[in-house]
Amino acid sequence: MPTMDLPEDTDPVVLLTYVSQAKVLMVGAGGIGCELLKNLALTGFGEIHIVDLDTIDLSNLNRQFLFRHEHIKKSKALVAKEAAESFNPNVKIEAHHANIKDAQFNLEWFRGFKLVFNALDNLEARRHVNKMCLAADVPLIESGTTGFNGQVQVIKKGVTACYDCATKDVPKSFPVCTIRSTPSQPIHCIVWAKSYLLNEVFGISEDEAAFDHSTDADNAKEIAELKKEAEALRIIRESVGTAEFPKMLFDKVFKADIDRLRSMEEMWQSRQKPEPLDYDVLKPKTPAVTPELLQDGQKLWSLEENLAVMNDSLDRLSKRVAELKAAGTAQPTITFDKDDGDTLDFVAAAANIRSSIFGIERKSRFDIKQMAGNIIPAIATTNAIVAGLCVLESFKVLQGEYEKTKEVFLSPFATQRLLSADKPQPPNPNCPVCSVYQTNVYVDLSRATLKDLVGDFVRLQLGYGDKELAVSTEAGVLYDPEEEDNLSKKLGELGIMQGTFVTIVDEDDDDVFVNVVLNIQEATQDSSQAQKEPTKESNGVNSDGDATVKDLKRAREDEGDVPPTKKAKTSGADDDDVVLVGDEPSTGGAILIDDD
């Protein structure tokens, strides 16, 4: 006979004890974060740490209820802590106005938490916390909202899928020639205004990420021309703030550059040629810039109105540059921010003028803001639902009941099931992030070379033998069969520090090992661990060697193998697991490993 889901095996007193003793981390104090902090505090969580690098903006106030108008420009983490404490003096909250990627938030620090909540708004930080939680083996509750949609997911190493088990969409980049020479859609002109023009005039030169710079025989010449064009624009930048500047800029980008493009006949055989504009003809026709004009973001501005807004925004931006200079900044820069009206007006007007030149439809500033700013709609209600779901999942995680956890989705289109809960997905055996073998390695960074690491540790210790392999860090490839120059360099010289993750990828075609991620821990020659366990080196090598190779064998679906991460030991840093390797064992060795 079917029964209700009942919390019968959840003794409320036991749960309350778990909750009150839990020290948890909340990354992000924005939309979900404000709600979550309130719920955690009132649920009785003992100690809550908050990390957020952001400051409060006017556009947050429609949902981030711990913040008021007077808090604008202050730290989200600090204001959230103060607000929550004032309502609930019993809760212990620690706030960090900092980037979660900072070195201070290392693995050791992550290990101090019973549970981590992600309440973030960007892919990069989510991926980072996911990686740290996997390495520290701390459970993570990941959440996100977009408008009426939301999602909550529990991530536990070796048990559930991690954030990167399914590939995520990455922001789109456009071919540089489409943006700079042959735009055909409004978005091309918006990217041009935001990532090229604004940056060349007020920011830090080209926004590289927005462009795909791949060259081929067809576009090599044009790309060389575009470089010259950008250099010429940088010279005009010298005149920012002068009365002549608006005309100089206009003549350059809306006339001279367009004339040059028109002269490339082969480019326009099947496209409509762009029509350059004449400043002296257009300027007398521009209307006065009134507050009404600027406040109506929905209106489609005429060409003349766009020029008026462009010149007005140039004036505002130039004054800001002058003020920054006066305040002592040698080379002031202004970068695009969708909520910074001056930059938004500039981008909207410049994009629309360029659209007119290329016969592309113009857009309202409201639409351009969304297209340029990558705006994600956000409301209080969805955040309230998602934050509540996060806390419900945390109860199961605290009691170790991962089989009961749910991956919950909210969708406005499924009106019959506002919330749908699914069983968590298992880890993807080919996930580049969680299906790797992770281990700590203790290294004397000032002495150990890459050769010590590759030759002695990876090949001998881990059993790679003479396999082809590649070694890389976030900065790039350090070693592979074609790149051996770094072998003699010290690890410190290669940018490897305490906490760096070094990835070993097997490049053989047969019997491929899973990727190995080494978490580098600094240990000098006289570090206590090295001294305490000097005799482990030979024993450790042999006894752990076989097991390691077995662990590294890639799971084969046809054999129904369990993903290797599940086989990996999960004990913490235990002295017994410390293995010493190195070619100079008598001097204490340069590399130590502990199984994680």
Partner 1 sequence: MTEIVMSQTPPILHGPSDKEKKYDRQLRLWAASGQAALESANILLVNSGCGTVGVETLKNLVLPGIGRFTIVDEAVVQNADLGVNFFLDETCLGKLRSKCCTELLQELNPDVQGEWFPKQPGTVDLDQILLNSPTYTLIMYTMPISSKDLAALKEYGQKHHTPLFAIHSAGFYSYFNIQLPGTFPIVDTHPEAERTIDLRLTKPWPELAHFAESMTKDMDQLDDHEHGHLPYVVLLLHYLEKWKETHDGKLPTEYKAKLEGEENFQEAVAAVNRNIKEQTLESTLGEVFSHEASGNVDAKSSFWVIARAIKEFHRKHGCLPLPGGLPDMKAQSSVYVKLQGLYKAKARKDSQEVLEIAKSLSGGEDVDSAEVDLFCKNASFVKLVNATTGDQDLTKTYEEQKENDSLAEVTMMPLSLFPIYLALSATTHEPAASVDQIKASAYSRLPAAADDMRISQACEEVARAAGGELHNISALTGGMVAQEAIKIITKQYIPIDNTCIFDGIASRCQILRL
Residues carrying an active site annotation? 177
**What is the closest distance, in whole angstroms, from the C-beta atom of residue 80 to partner 1 in the complex?**
13
Q: Does 420 bind partner 1 (CB under 8 A)?
A: yes
Both tokens of 504, joined, read 């070993």
Task: State which residue, 339 or 493, has the beta carbon closest to partner 1.
Answer: 339
DSSP 371-412: HHHT-----HHHHHHHHHHHHHHHHHHHTT-GGG--EEEE-T
The reply on whether position 371 binds partner 1 by CB under 8 A is: no
Under a CB-based contact definition with an 8 Å cutoff, are residues 69 and 23 in contact?
no
State the minimum distance, in angstroms, from the CB of residue 147 to partner 1. 5
Task: Give yes or no for a contact between 179 and 188, defined as CB atoms under 8 angstroms apart.
Answer: yes
Query: Is 370 a residue that touches partner 1 (CB under 8 A)?
Result: yes
Burial of 168 (0-12, 13-18, 19+ CB in 10 A): exposed
Q: Could you tell me which stretch among 195-203, 406-414, 433-441, 481-489 binds partner 1 (CB under 8 A)?
A: 406-414
Q: Which stretch binds partner 1 (CB under 8 A): 127-135, 240-248, 449-457, 468-476?
A: 240-248
Residues 31-90 within binding reach of partner 1 (CB under 8 A):
35, 38-39, 41-43, 58-59, 61-63, 65, 68-69, 86-88
Q: Which is nearer to partner 1, 227 or 417 (CB)?
A: 417
Is residue 413 at the binding interface for partner 1, with CB under 8 A as the rule? yes
Site for partner 1 contains 345 (CB under 8 A): yes
CA distances for 371 relative to 190, 191, 229, 295, 353, angstroms: 8, 9, 26, 19, 16
Q: C-alpha angle with apex 565: 561 to 566, nearest 5 degrees?
A: 70
Does 170 help bind partner 1 (rule: CB under 8 A)? no
Footprint (CB under 8 A) of partner 1, residues 271-300: 271-272, 289-291, 294-295, 297-298
The answer to whether residue 416 forms part of the interface with partner 1 (CB under 8 A) is yes
Please list every residue from 320 through 339 that binds partner 1, using CB under 8 A.
322, 339
DSSP class of 553: B
Nearer to partner 1, 93 or 514 (CB): 93
Contact assessment for residue 24 and residue 47, using Cβ atoms and an 8 Å cutoff: yes
C-alpha span between 346 and 354 (Å, rounded)? 12
Which position among 77, 391, 450, 523 is part of the footprint of partner 1 (CB under 8 A)? 391
Give the shortest CB-170-to-partner 1 separation in angstroms.
20
Distance CA 400, CA 294 (A): 56
Residue 472 CB-density burial (10 A; 0-12 exposed, 13-18 middle, 19+ buried): middle
| Position among 77, 226, 384, 458 found at the interface with partner 1 (CB under 8 A) | 384
Letters for 209-238 (x = contact with partner 1 by CB under 8 A, - = none) are -----------------------------x
Query: How many residues in the chain?
Result: 596
Binding mask 8-27 for partner 1 (x = CB under 8 A): --------------------
We find the least distance from the C-beta atom of residue 1 to partner 1, in angstroms, to be 6
- Rounded Cα distance between 159 and 565, Å, is 10
Q: How many other CB atoms are found less than 10 A from the CB of residue 336?
A: 19
- According to CB under 8 A, which one of 7, 400, 426, 495 is a site residue for partner 1? 7
Query: DSSP letter string over 243-309?
Result: TTHHHHHHIIIIIIHHHHHHH-GGGGSSSPPP----HHHHGGGPPP--HHHHH-TTS---HHHHHHH
* Minimum distance, C-beta of residue 55 to partner 1, in the bound complex (Å): 15
Residues contacting partner 1: total by CB under 8 A = 91
Please tell me whether residue 532 binds partner 1 under the rule CB under 8 A.
no
The Cα–Cα gap between 343 and 320 comes to 11
